[in-house]
Amino acid sequence: MIVALSGGVGGAKLALGLSRIMPPENLLVVVNTGDDFEHLGLSISPDIDTVAYTLAGLANREVGWGRHDETWSFMETMDALGGETWFRLGDRDIALHVERTRRLKSGENLSSVTADLCRRMGVGPRVLPMTDDPVRTRLLTNQGWLDFQEYFVHQRCEPVVSELQFQGAGAAKAHPDFLAALADASLEAVVICPSNPFISVEPILAIPGVRAALIASKAPIIAVSPIIAGRAVKGPTAKMMTELGLDATAGTVAERYNDLLDGYVIDNADMSEVVSIDARVTLAQTLMTTLEDRESLARIVLDAAAVLRRRELRGLRHRTAQ
């Protein structure tokens, strides 16, 4: 079994690669829900949906959100009626939000709704929200505190970020199946996908007990850098790092995960950083453009995890905190 921690686009790409080179039912993708919000009366879970659509082969790969087979009658009509259109919702996508909202309102939890909708969409791996409790990422910016989607979509990540907050994380319970997987003796690796550390991975790590369960896990923890040659492939990761006073490098991301990492996969372009990284580093082509790129990076990650497991058997484990 493999556990992958994921945000949206970058995480979903690697999760898809993993799902194609291993029995998909042995892959548990634990997804950030800090981006979730309520909009037009609907409960929207952007990262869960990106992962689910990607694994179901339904994702729109050009824009990185929504479905590829979309129509836009709802948005056009909303616009004509003077309604809110800054958060784009395609007609088919809306069906998912309406159904999720109805089921949440009837008392079902997010993980059970997600599992059922994923099954119906033909998703092989298990997609699990990090928690069934509400966690909401907020950002302190030069315009004050902003809700995540206000910053990310409405204001196109333009405000300057100085602080992040994961509202509700302190009281949230990590999903018990997530914690159980980390404690499972058959777990072969925890993969921290190339997702934004600040808004995708750290909300997961902020839930009480998650860091401790990762550290206690017998499986190697291996991350893939979302930064390639000082730049993010997509989104505000590098911009945010600069605004937070950090160098936008693969090494800085490794430092964010400090005591967790056994292995770290960085791009060939970042070879000069190897010496400064406190984990076993693998160099690879980490830009996932094609399906083959996703599969070969996934293979490199699982191979690196296998090496780490062998080292562990020989008492050479890297991670010191246990």
- Chain residues binding ligand GDP by CB under 6 A are 6-11, 13, 47, 50, 194-196, 200, 224-226, 228, 232-235, 237, 286-288
Q: Which two tokens stand for residue 239?
A: 């911009």
Residue with smaller CB distance to ligand GDP, 239 or 311: 239
Nearer to ligand GDP, 187 or 192 (CB): 192
What does R_g of the chain's alpha carbons equal in angstroms?
A: 19
Residue nearest to ligand GDP (CB): 10
For the CB of residue 48, give the shortest distance to ligand GDP in the complex, in Å.
Answer: 10
- Choose between 48 and 103: whose C-beta lies nearer to ligand GDP: 48
CB of 315 to ligand GDP, least distance (A): 31
Q: Which residue has the tokens 């605004």?
A: 243
CB-wise, 174 or 227, nearer to ligand GDP?
227
Minimum separation from the CB atom of position 242 to ligand GDP (A): 13
Residues 93/49, Cβ–Cβ less than 8 Å: yes
Q: Decide whether 9 or 169 has the Cβ nearer to ligand GDP.
A: 9
Least distance in angstroms from the C-beta of 318 to ligand GDP = 21
- CB closer to ligand GDP, 58 vs 103: 58
Exposed, middle or buried by CB within 10 Å (0-12, 13-18, 19+), for 234? middle
Pairing relationship of beta strands 221-224 and 263-267 according to DSSP bridges: parallel
As a whole number of angstroms, the distance between CA 65 and CA 54 comes to 9
Nearest-approach distance from CB 298 to ligand GDP, in angstroms:
12
The residue among 9 and 161 lying less far from ligand GDP, judged by its C-beta, is: 9
Which tokens in the block code for residue 109? 């939890």
* C-alpha span between 157 and 172 (Å, rounded): 27
* Min separation Cβ 228 and ligand GDP, Å: 6
CB 192 to ligand GDP: min, Å: 11
